[in-house]
Amino acid sequence: MEDINTADNWYYVIVQNPDTASEKILGFNDEKTKEKFLPAFKTKQDAKSCFQLLPKDLFKEKYDIHAVIEEDIIDTAKKTGHQVFVLDETGHILKPLG
């Protein structure tokens, strides 16, 4: 699936261990601010580019990029105590969601 143009409320997220019982949206903890956040991206290409820069364990975990509607991302974030930030391809925060 390529970039979604039909609605502005869809974002791409990185899913850890897709299609398993331990599937979850990849989240991070900022060591400086102690904030927990889920990264989201407006394009699949931004997600792919930024994924290369993000810390991850490629030996133990599998990852995939999925398109998810904004409300579902925000609901997941609330349940796990995370915020959601839209990032660009370099990992800079463009805006918060929710």
CA distance 67 to 19: 14
Residue 25 lies in a domain: yes
98 pLDDT tier (thresholds 50, 70, 90): confident
CA-to-CA distance for 83 and 97, rounded, in angstroms?
Answer: 8
42 in any annotated domain: yes
Does the pLDDT at position 4 exceed 60?
A: no
Domain containing 16 equals: 10-97
Is 71 within the bounds of a domain? yes
**3-state secondary structure at position 95:** strand
Q: Is residue 46 part of a domain?
A: yes
pLDDT for res 7: 60
Q: Is residue 2 pLDDT above 60, yes or no?
A: no
Instruction: Output the pTM of the full model.
Output: 0.85
Contact between residue 26 and residue 63 where contact means Cβ atoms under 8 Å apart: yes
C-beta neighbour count of 63 within 10 angstroms: 15
Question: Is residue 78 situated within a structural domain?
Answer: yes
63 within a domain of the structure (yes/no): yes
Asked if residue 16 is part of any domain, the answer here is yes
Q: pLDDT of 38-91, one tens digit each?
A: 999 999 999 999 999 988 887 788 999 999 999 999 999 999 999 999 999 999
Q: How many domains does the chain have?
A: 1
In a domain, 4, yes or no: no
SS3 75: helix
The two tokens of residue 15 are 């899913």
